[in-house]
């Protein structure tokens, strides 16, 4: 299973089902169940299904706060040169977070053993 590192408060919002788009500066072809790791915690907090990845226009980003939850009164620019919404669904919070060993150099993705 792939593990995705997500900062707080975004990981909590994803796992609560309140944030269904993870905004990233790159596309991904990964689909299916992925583990969510809270940045800096050394723990896998839960999992989610990564259903899609789509490039956003500024207009898409401006009218989609309910999906990405980034707070701003007036977005003037996208957060990345190319901005993607990774579409998430079916979040599952683990009752007990699972420790993992962080591989050298891993910033966004890495492989987790079951």
Q: Which domain holds residue 25?
A: 2-106
> Per the domain annotation, does 15 fall within a domain?
yes
Specify the number of domains making up the chain: 1
Higher pLDDT: 72 or 111? It is 111
pTM of the model: 0.91
What local confidence, expressed as pLDDT, does residue 73 receive?
62
In this predicted structure, the answer to whether residue 14 has a pLDDT above a threshold of 80 is: yes
Q: Quote the percentage of the chain above a pLDDT of 90.
A: 76
pLDDT-based confidence at 112, cuts 50/70/90?
A: confident
Higher pLDDT: 35 or 101? It is 35
Provide the CATH number for the domain around residue 80. 2.30.130.30
What are the start-end ranges of the E strands in 16-113? Answer: 21-24, 32-38, 43-56, 83-99, 109-111
């Amino acid at each position: 299973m792939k593990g995705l590192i997500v900062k707080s408060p975004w990981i909590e919002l994803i796992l609560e089902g309140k944030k269904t788009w993870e905004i990233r500066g790159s596309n991904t072809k990964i689909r299916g169940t992925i583990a969510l790791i809270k940045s800096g915690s050394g723990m896998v907090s839960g999992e989610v299904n990564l259903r899609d990845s789509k490039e956003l226009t500024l207009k898409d980003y401006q009218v989609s706060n309910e999906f990405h939850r980034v707070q701003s009164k007036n977005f003037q620019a996208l957060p990345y040169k190319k901005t993607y919404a990774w579409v998430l669904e079916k979040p599952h919070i683990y009752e007990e977070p699972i420790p993992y060993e962080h591989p050298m150099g891993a910033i966004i993705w890495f492989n987790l053993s079951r």
